[in-house]
Structure 1
Amino acid sequence: MSDSQEAFQTLLQLAQHSRAVARGLPAQADIRPLWSGIGFSLMGQYFVAPMGEVSEMLEIPPFTHLPGVQPWVRGVANVRGRLLPLFDLAAFFGDKLTGTRKQRRVLVLETRTLYSGLMVDQVFGMQHFPMDEYREQAGDDVVPDILPFITGSYPLGGRQWSLFRPALLAEDARFINAAKS
């Protein structure tokens, strides 16, 4: 056998061996469309906010307290040269933040008319939910004061994640008028 035939036979054997040990293509699985949002906890409950309503997540920055405001207004922080009002979301709903100070985060809302930060117990980052599992009811045991800002829920990881809408909060007269009366 010539060198070129021997090389060809070697390549054929290598190709046959590669096919024999190659994995098959992944099984065709039904692709379920997903809805994504920012997961967070507040007052021991799990929530998710739509991606378009939260512009960023921050550790709680140093802030200055403000006089003459509601107790749930924590103050104002300088974030990259912009003044960010900080609101304790749990205090707004008549409770207090739980967990450690190190876990607490700020969800930044930015609309045409509002730039503010909501302090929450913990942020879990982006969460993905199968769209066909959406329920129009809030998750179990949601505090009644929060219900006007909930538009449904998704199950994930053995939990019900209530869909919290910061845009609805930004339209709430009590939230917008943070000065003490």
Structure 2
Amino acid sequence: MRTPFDTLAEYERRSLAHAVAQPAREIAQDQYRGVGYRVGKRRLISNFGEVVEIVPMPPVTPVPGAQPWLLGIGNLRGNLFPVVDLKQFLEGERTVLHEGQRVLVMRQAGGDVALTIDELYGQRSFHESQQVEPGDLADGRYGHFIDRAFASDDQRWGVFALGLLARTPEFRQTAL
């Protein structure tokens, strides 16, 4: 007498016997891959290793006595974390929040931090031959976090170092 588990195991065995193997996909060493997004007028890209996840804007509880760019504390699956208006931190101008707002969650010492962005473009890949000077992408406070850029389809993308942002003393000091 066969158990339901035996039946499922047989289905799996037969399915795998007919599966077509996918060719191995290797990432070229001279390729940069990351998450593309927009803050203000700048198109930015950050390494996949620096972005924990991308989620809808969580409900935020304001924190009294905090910097204006700290929107408050958010809760995601029972984990509390600060929610930072990245545009306001970098440019002094508040992000216009909208329905469907997304945040990038980045890891830093002491816990995750959510960063508001204006628009999410998703995965982007660039060949090293597309590398260009950052130019005006690195103007102002952005210059601390962008040291290179890529060009594609008449658009320039600044490589934004989230890890460096997390280690910046001003970013870590959220109290007024």
TM-score, normalized by length of structure 2? 0.77
What is the aligned partner in structure 2 of residue 153 from structure 1?
149
Using the size of structure 1 for normalisation, the TM-score is 0.75
* Contact 1:68–1:179 (8 Å) recurs in 2: yes
Identity %: 29
Number of aligned residues: 148
Q: CA deviation at 1:32?
A: 8.5
Please tell me the residue identity of whatever aligns with 2:130.
Answer: E
1:103 and 1:121 in contact (8 A); partners too:
no
Q: Which moved more, 1:124-133 or 1:161-170?
A: 124-133
Q: Tell whether 2:123 aligns with 1:122.
A: no
Contact 1:34-1:130 at 8 Å conserved across structures: yes
State the Cα RMSD in Å: 1.9
- d(CA) in 1 for partners of 2:156, 2:113: 27
Q: CA deviation at 1:103?
A: 5.1
Decide which structure has greater strand share: 2
Q: Tell me, what secondary structure is at the counterpart of 1:140?
A: helix
- Shift in Å, 1:97: 1.7
Structure 1 segment 12-161 matched on structure 2, within 5 A:
33-93=30-90, 94-98=92-96, 101-102=98-99, 104-135=101-132, 137-161=133-157
Structure 2 unaligned regions, length at least 5 = 1-27
Consecutive unaligned residues in structure 1, runs of 5 or more: 1-30
Structure number, greater radius of gyration: 1
Cα separation, 2, equivalents of 1:131 and 1:143: 22
Give every structure 1 segment of 4 or more consecutive aligned residues whose post-TM-superposition deviation is greater than 4 Å.
none
